[in-house]
Amino acid sequence: MRNLWLFLLSVPLYLGIFPSAGFAEGNLQAQLDALQPGDVLKLEGKTYEGNIVIDKTVEIIGTDQTVIKGDGNGNVISIKAPNVKLSHLKVTHASMNRNSPEEFAAIKVHSNGNTIEDIVIRDSFHGIYLSQAHENKIRNVDIKGLGKGEIASQGNGFHIYFANNNLLEHNTIEGTRDGMFFEYGNGNTATKNNITKTRYALHYMYSDDNRFIGNTFTMNTGGAAIMNSKSIVLEDNDFLFNYGHRSFGLFLLSANDITVENNTFYLNQRGLYIDQSTGNKIKNNRIIQNQIGIELWASSNQQIFTGNQITENTIPAVSLGGQGQNAWSEDGRGNDWGSAFPLADLNQDGLGDLPVTYRSSLHQLIEDQELTSFFLKSPAINIYEKMNEFLNEDKVMFEDLHPLVASNENHNRFGLYGAFGLLVIIILYKGRQRLCITLGRNGKKI
């Protein structure tokens, strides 16, 4: 009887000293093991110890306080059964080990048809890794990495590897290596994701027939780098503030038959950067206030630029390495080049009466010397261009045969600003006497 009391006392004492030993991890995995396919497991708002493997078709629902914490030696959650549903969980502490044969993630998916939503991921190498996993839905996932300075020591927000027909929507990724990395992933759709402060928000290799709609890529080293892929659609995305000296909004490298439509490229070092790519259509985009609107290498051919608003860029478009065979209009519809290229439209058909031709001397400098990017924000660039124009050392960068006439919607706003500015100056000037009395403690009229 005495031994029994001792045993009953020692068990809670042991668990108090070693809370994770045997109880928590075993408990969650044991709970999972005890489930039947189709069961729903509702977790409490507390921390559960990982790592766990889900090998049955089950649904796991947490609360806003539910945390699954890995042991730092592997994937925190591995999904190996199809049609699993995970929701309302915080998943942390996957392995950051780069010397293992496997790259670890907070959630690694090896199966098809799963739904992962309302998940927070922290302190993990990759966020969600889809490995040969198809037709999964990933929604409302919030991933935060180690920060922009860390590239090699961490992984990607989403790592899509040999994974097809997945849907990624309404996710937020910040400070990982790449936001979404695709390698051999076809037929995927990414909509309304928000990716910021990564290396490339979207990094993309050997993946075809994917759609990216309504995503926002801000303050990354590069917005989207699409390489060695074809038949991609990019619509209604915002590529903003990818502002570093080598940065870009969208980079197409060996990418063919890409449709880039209705996107906004604003305040990037380069809006679009196109190299070794063929047959892409760039239509109805807003390419505004970038250092270089479009950087087009001669190795790229048969691009069509039509209906784009390409305004207020330091350099609207530059062709490097020679002139490729590209079209700056389609079906008699060119692009709006803004007030930098004044146009007459006597027949008021919305098209300029004469072609727009842009000449620049900077192409050689940009090609030869990478430090040129440090001067693109300098007003001296304009003098340099004018000087070379005078010396006839510039070359034609593009010729738009059917330019669109710029819209005048901002004129009223500028008038309003001017009136407001005048009012402030009058108030400060006329009220100066009173301010002088107040601030200078004297009433002398000047």
Partner 1 sequence: MYYIGKEWKENIRGKGLWLALSIIVVLSVLMMFKSSVLSVDQGFYFLLLHLFDTLVYFIPVLCLFLGAFSIFQEKEQKTLIMLLTKRETFASFLWQKSLSIWIVLLIPVVAWFFIYLVPLKFMLILDFKSYLYFLTAIITIIIVFLQLGTLIGSISRSRMQIVGLTIFVWFYFFFLHDFILLSFLEKVTYENVKLFSVFYFLNPFQAGRMFLEGGLGVLSVGHMSKLMQTFLWTKPSIFLLGNLVFWIIFSYVLSLVFHRKEGVE
Q: Which residue has the tokens 């919305």?
A: 350
Judged by CB, which is closer to partner 1: 210, or 268? 268
- Closest distance of CB 228 from partner 1, Å: 20
In angstroms, what CA-CA distances link 370 with 222, 300, 340, 362, 393?
Answer: 17, 20, 26, 12, 20
How far is 70 from 234, CA to CA, in rounded Å? 36
- Closest distance of CB 213 from partner 1, Å: 18
**Binder of partner 1 out of 12, 16, 149, 443 (CB under 8 A):** 149
Name the nearest CA neighbour of 36 among 55, 53, 23: 55
Judged by CB, which is closer to partner 1: 101, or 440? 440
Judged by CB, which is closer to partner 1: 344, or 424? 424
Instruction: Pick the piece of the chain touching partner 1 (CB under 8 A) from 63-71, 109-117, 329-337, 362-370.
Output: 362-370
From residue 6 to residue 25, the character string flagging contacts with partner 1 as x (rule: CB under 8 A) and all else as - is --------------------
Token pair of 341 as six digits: 């290229």
Listing DSSP states for 3-53 in one string gives HHHHHHHHHHHHHHHSTIIIIIHHHHHHHHHHPPTT-EEEPPSSEEE--EE
Token pair of 297 as six digits: 């290498």
- Closest distance of CB 417 from partner 1, Å: 5
Token pair of 121 as six digits: 């991921």
Judged by CB, which is closer to partner 1: 247, or 326? 247
Judged by CB, which is closer to partner 1: 354, or 423? 423
Enumerate residues 233-292 that contact partner 1 by CB under 8 A.
238, 240-241, 243-247, 267
Q: Which residue has the tokens 């209009």?
A: 329
How far is 284 from 277, CA to CA, in rounded Å? 20
How far is 21 from 10, CA to CA, in rounded Å? 14
Enumerate residues 367-426 that contact partner 1 by CB under 8 A.
368-372, 374-375, 377-381, 383-384, 417, 420-421, 424-425
Q: Are 251 and 295 in contact (CB under 8 A)?
A: no
Judged by CB, which is closer to partner 1: 18, or 420? 420
Judged by CB, which is closer to partner 1: 164, or 388? 388
Residues that bind partner 1 (CB under 8 A): 148-149, 151, 197, 199, 216, 218-219, 221, 238, 240-241, 243-247, 267, 365, 368-372, 374-375, 377-381, 383-384, 417, 420-421, 424-425, 428-429, 432, 435-436, 439-440, 442, 444, 446
